[in-house]
Amino acid sequence: MFVHDIVITRVSVVTGANKGLGLETSRKLASNGITVIVTARNEKNGTDAVEKLKASGLSDVVFHPLDVKDPASIDSLINNAGQNGTELNMELVASVLDEAGMLKGVTISTYEMAVDCLNTNYFGTKKVTEALLPLLQLSKSARIVNVTSYYGLLIVKTELSDTDNLSEEKIEEIVQWFLKDFKEDTLKANGWPLTISAYKVSKAAINAYTKLMAKKHPNILINCVHPGYVQTDITYGTGPLTPEEGARAPVMVALLPDNGPSGRYFHEMQEAAYYLMHICDLKILELSYLIESLKQFHV
């Protein structure tokens, strides 16, 4: 009779992890004994980020390039991550953490910028999630954590708040409806948000998708989290929280116990309603983004 010790390696895939919130999230996960696959579009930036983490004593960190808008890049992550010493086809705990996303520069935006924002924040996140699902389903303790924003509250569009009757097809239909109205300059007439509208709709779509996926995959804890107003490039370095402080909430959600909640929205360190509205905070934040955006035009 032979008895083999089975070592279960916990693995986390972190997107947009070369700096800011993604980098600090990777650091905290690695500090908890999790092997972290740091992903970024730019190979040099990603490699430099891994070297920084290793220099701080975190050895179980590897880099793999990933462009969430490129299906071939996603396939490469799934098929070739093992070349860096980390196999993905194992028993694993995986956290897919979407960096805060495209916000900087979209206060004043074009239709093309709106399309790019949706392709990154919603469709890109969705494609990566779908690609990883077959591997996640092999795990007894899988996690998916989507980093979102309270800009993505489901009251952004009434149709997105009807989560009991939502489907992936319905979410995509709503997103395409928004893009059509954006192109035709009918956002106001059709009840869409007017300030950083593409960002808000992209995050509302991710929030709705998170709830939907949690219902479809009850064996995986799937949640979304707003990390707080964090000082990153996306927020022009404004905000009361450092990236290290902002990473606490995503990591907490990634490390929830196996009997933890799923399909929920976390506002920083607390579970909250998808419909929670902080009017004063939102208006102050919108104003700060508008001011910084206008600086580009020397106004």
How far lies 16's CA from each of 125, 167, 271, 279, 289, in Å? 11, 27, 24, 29, 21
Please pick, among 150, 199, 274, 289, the residue that the annotation labels catalytic: 199
| Cα angle: 160, vertex 161, 162; to 5 degrees | 90
Residues 12, 36 contacting (CB under 8 angstroms):
yes
199 tagged catalytic: yes
For the record, the structure tokens of 184 come out as 């035709």
Q: What are phi and psi of 24, to 5 degrees?
A: -70, -30
Closest listed residue to residue 97, CA positions, set 178, 180, 151, 40: 40
Residues in contact with 141: Cβ distance below 8 Å, sequence separation at least 6, in sequence order = 10, 93, 258
CB atoms within 10 A of CB 184: 11
Q: Which residues are catalytic?
A: 199
